[in-house]
Amino acid sequence: MPAVNTKLAALLTAIATLSAVAGSAADVTNAPYEIDGRKSGYLFMTPATRSLQDDEFQNPGMFAVERGRELWNQKDGPDGKSCASCHGDAETSMTGVAARYPVFDSARGGLVNLELRINTERADRMKASTYKYESDELLALTSYISYQSRGKPLNVDIEGPAKPFFEEGRKFYDARRGQLDLACGQCHDALVGSKLRGDVISQGQLNGFPIHRLSWRAMVSRHRIFAWCNTSVRAEPYAAGSPEYLSLELYVAWRGRGLPIEAPAVRR
Amino acid sequence: MTIIRKSIAAWLPVLAASSFIVTAAVGEGLVNFKIENGAVPQPLTGEPGNPARGRQIVRDMNHVTCLICHSMPIPEEPDHGEIGPPLAGVGSRFTASELRLRLIDPKAVNPATIMPSYYRVSNFMRVGESFRDRPIYTAQQIEDVVAYLSLLKDN
């Protein structure tokens, strides 16, 4: 174990209680960051950024994971239930879940991702208030649940009722948009590894989300980064949680199939 | 004068392949221009392009600008892009009229190009609200950048 920064002593205590943590951390260190040419954003980061992600005592995203663990166990709503009341220990019940999302939800008649699932569970089962998309709480719970899938390969279902949404997502990905008239793939497929000003263009994979983005000093969801990309090509973004971004999320998750969940990844 | 607004994209292959004179206007408030043989011979403004101003425009980090994607003979700027071809010597490879079209609407030359159109406002999908109905560069900025790029001759 590395020497412990005193500021992170609380984190250490928390992590010590998570028996599965050491195992999954080791998995991700050894996990392949490239599968059949599909490359995690990790491979486009500097060695300093990679080691920041790899060291759980330094990784700033671990604060969100730790906060998520607290929220998982925190009772809320009139019946005094927490996530754990029904789902028990997330370290076992949530293993692999983030790697399968988004999924088709028949009650909803559409796709649901981890963030929306957390909120519908809170509303329907706990009768508790929902979290705002991109709130600290929702990012924390999403990070904590995703963390339980660390090292597990992205494996979304695009068949059956999910198929039309998948096709919508592909169309979104392939469409030129905004004043700069750019489609996602024109950079993230055709120009991977090239420099756009000082930045190296990655494949835009989402296996690391929620990420800690260094330039924003913040945790960032998959949909927030979609909105940021759209805004960067001077297109009007969609709302986080919108059907458009859910379909895009399904397509992009499939596009990165097999890449290991790295949440909370650290990106530039 | 033929005005093409809504469907300029449908005409692009025609425009590019044509050796005839075609006239296109690209939206309300924009200066009309003529595409002739893969070039726009007439300047968009009465004021001649200013190359010093053009050089400032292409390195302005707050703008969508050449340096993001192209390397340029501007050694004092770090981090030149490497997506498009290097622009050193571009003034020897293209005339000012050809450079003008390649800035105004490079898709008139190559519909598949990744390069944005700097003086076009129509036929885009879902342009952000604050960018609607205005081109990336003003007519004068186009002229200034054309004047600068024209000076980038091979030694």
Structure tokens at B59: 């390195």
For residue A114, how far is the Cα from the chain centroid? 9
Structure tokens at B88: 């050193």
Q: What is the tens place of the pLDDT at every residue in A167-200?
A: 999 999 999 999 999 999 999 999 999 998 888 9
Average pLDDT over all residues of chain A? 91
Residue A178 and residue B126: Cβ atoms within 8 Å?
yes
A195, B79 Cβ separation under 8 angstroms: yes
Burial class (CB in 10 A: 0-12, 13-18, 19+), A153: middle
Q: What is the tens place of the pLDDT at every residue in A123-160?
A: 999 999 999 999 999 999 999 999 999 999 999 999 99
Q: Is the pLDDT of residue B2 over 90?
A: no
From the list A94, A82, A103, A214, the residue with the least C-alpha distance to A143 is: A94
The H or E element containing residue B24 is strand B21-24
Q: What is the tens place of the pLDDT at every residue in B10-46?
A: 444 444 444 334 444 444 579 999 999 999 999 999 9
Residues of A with a known catalytic role: 229
Residue B114 and residue A178: Cβ atoms within 8 Å?
no
pLDDT at B28: 53
* Domains of chain A, earliest start first: 2-267 (1.10.760.10)
Task: Work out the minimum CA distance from B70 to partner chain A, whole angstroms.
Answer: 8
Helix, strand, coil shares, percent, chain B, to 5: 35, 5, 60
Indicate if the alpha-carbon torsion angle B112, B116, B120, B125 is positive or negative: positive
Strands (E), chain A: 34-35, 38-39, 103-105, 110-112, 195-196, 199-200, 211-213, 218-220, 265-267
B62-82 mean pLDDT: 91
From the list A99, A115, A111, the residue with the least C-alpha distance to A148 is: A99
**pTM over the 0.90 mark:** no
Alpha carbons A170 and A255: distance in angstroms, whole number: 9
Alpha carbons A263 and B137: distance in angstroms, whole number: 41
* Domains of chain B, earliest start first: 2-150 (1.10.760.10)
B27, B120 Cβ separation under 8 angstroms: yes
Question: Which residues of chain A carry a pLDDT beneath 70?
Answer: 1-31
Token match 């002593």: residue?
A9
Q: Give the A-side interface with B, CB within 8 Å.
A: 175-182, 186-187, 190-191, 194-198, 231, 234-237
Determine the 3-state secondary structure of A82 from DSSP.
coil
The H or E element containing residue B34 is strand B33-36
* Contact residues on chain B for A228, CB-CB shorter than 8 A: none
Residue B82 and residue A181: Cβ atoms within 8 Å?
no
pLDDT at B62: 79
Structure tokens at A14: 């928390």
> ipTM of this model?
0.82
A122, A77 Cβ separation under 8 angstroms: yes
Q: How far is CA A204 from CA A44, A186, A200, B138, in A?
A: 10, 11, 11, 32
Residue B114 and residue A186: Cβ atoms within 8 Å?
yes
Average pLDDT over all residues of chain B? 85
Alpha carbons B8 and B16: distance in angstroms, whole number: 12
Who among B78, B117, B129 is closest to A236 (CB)?
Answer: B129
Indicate if the alpha-carbon torsion angle A100, A101, A103, A107 is positive or negative: positive
Q: Is the pLDDT of residue B81 over 80?
A: yes
DSSP string, A109-174: TEEE-HHHHHHHHHHHTS-PPPPPTT-HHHHHHHHHHHHTTBTPBP----SGGGHHHHHHHHHHHH
pLDDT at B61: 78
Angle, vertex CA A132, rays to CA A127 and CA A137, nearest 5:
80
* Contact residues on chain A for B114, CB-CB shorter than 8 A: 182, 186-187, 190-191
Structure tokens at A6: 């005193």
Q: How far is CA A146 from CA A30, A64, A98, in A?
A: 18, 11, 5
From the list B46, B8, B70, the residue with the least C-alpha distance to A181 is: B8
